[in-house]
Amino acid sequence: MNTFVAQVDATTLSYLHTQLTPYIVATPQYAVFQAKTQHTTITAYKSGKVVLQGKFAQQIAEKFQLTSSLSPCASNTSSVLPKQFSIWSVMGSDEVGTGSYLGPVVVASAFVDKKTIPLLQQAGVQDSKNLSDTAIRELSQFLKQNIPYKTLTVSPEKYNETHNTYNMNQIKALLHNRALYLLSTKIDHHFIDAYLIDEFCAKKTYYRYVADEEQVIEDRVYFATKGESHHIAVAAASIIARAAFLDYLDTLSTEFGMTIPSGAGEQSDVVAANILQRYGLDGLKRIAKLHFANTEKVFQLAGLPKTDWLHVHQLFQ
Ligand code: MN
């Protein structure tokens, strides 16, 4: 089956919604809408991701002038990892928060010397996606006491400013490179066998994104999807990043006096609408990634006119 994946902004998403209205079918959970036309299914998500699957996926994407978010990020360019890579001394990096409407984007790097691997394994270090929030917080504390790490946090406010100039993958690339570089300055280079980046775009694209940076980590760098399954350093980085993300949500929750959830579902919209009503756009900017399609829904929920939303939208595209 042909598949085409695009990342679009909120305006394009509403445009697609309007154009495809006659073809809308039952909306799956987490989707904004799903349409079936010409042997092809089009599913749009709140994050702005649009997936076209079927015979005419490519043609329909072209008709709507959608650009693929996968082609520069295809995983077939992944580095082939050397044998025994998992027992090397590796510095890994991972990011959290890019799919969450509320809260920051956090990238962490972590260095795991081969001698420390068994200690981390015994402690239960693994992909943060398989761990409860409580376990993540505990393991993060443990890791911070036992291995060198670096976290970089982009507040929603900063993210909204930056998103005018850079796309999400570019922001990620800059953060990964910076987190790896900053940590590398604290460690004798002879101890680092390799760097492993949890892959989110092709190596070539990644290096295009960081080309203007003063310091670029490019020697002994490997990219792999499901990085945490190839080396525990990426799992450690994912845990540290996730714990920092949760802490940030906690701080926002205390500050705004309500629970700020992660994810991009109903609950996030309701909370965001509440903040928008109470604190206005300045409040919303401080908790939400405004380019997500959720923002339009949030304005509706808050009972604010669409013209207000369009105004905001222009500011943040
Ligand atoms: Mn990742």
The residues pairing with 8 across neighbouring beta strands, listed in sequence order, are none
In the reported structure, the alpha carbon of residue 198 is separated from the centroid of ligand 1 by a whole-number distance in angstroms of 5
Question: Is the pTM for the entire model greater than 0.85?
Answer: no
In the reported structure, the alpha carbon of residue 95 is separated from the centroid of ligand 1 by a whole-number distance in angstroms of 5
Name the pairing type of β-strands 40-45 and 49-54. Answer: antiparallel
In the reported structure, the alpha carbon of residue 128 is separated from the centroid of ligand 1 by a whole-number distance in angstroms of 10
In the reported structure, the alpha carbon of residue 51 is separated from the centroid of ligand 1 by a whole-number distance in angstroms of 20
Which tokens sit at 95? 């990011």
**What does the pLDDT read at residue 181?**
97
> Tokens 């290096």 correspond to what residue?
207
Low-confidence ranges of the chain (pLDDT < 70): 1, 69-79, 306-317
In the reported structure, the alpha carbon of residue 94 is separated from the centroid of ligand 1 by a whole-number distance in angstroms of 5
d(C-alpha 29, C-alpha 27), whole Å: 7
The residues pairing with 52 across neighbouring beta strands, listed in sequence order, are 4, 42
Q: 90 near 195, Cβ under 8 Å?
A: yes
**What does the pLDDT read at residue 315?**
53
In the reported structure, the alpha carbon of residue 7 is separated from the centroid of ligand 1 by a whole-number distance in angstroms of 18
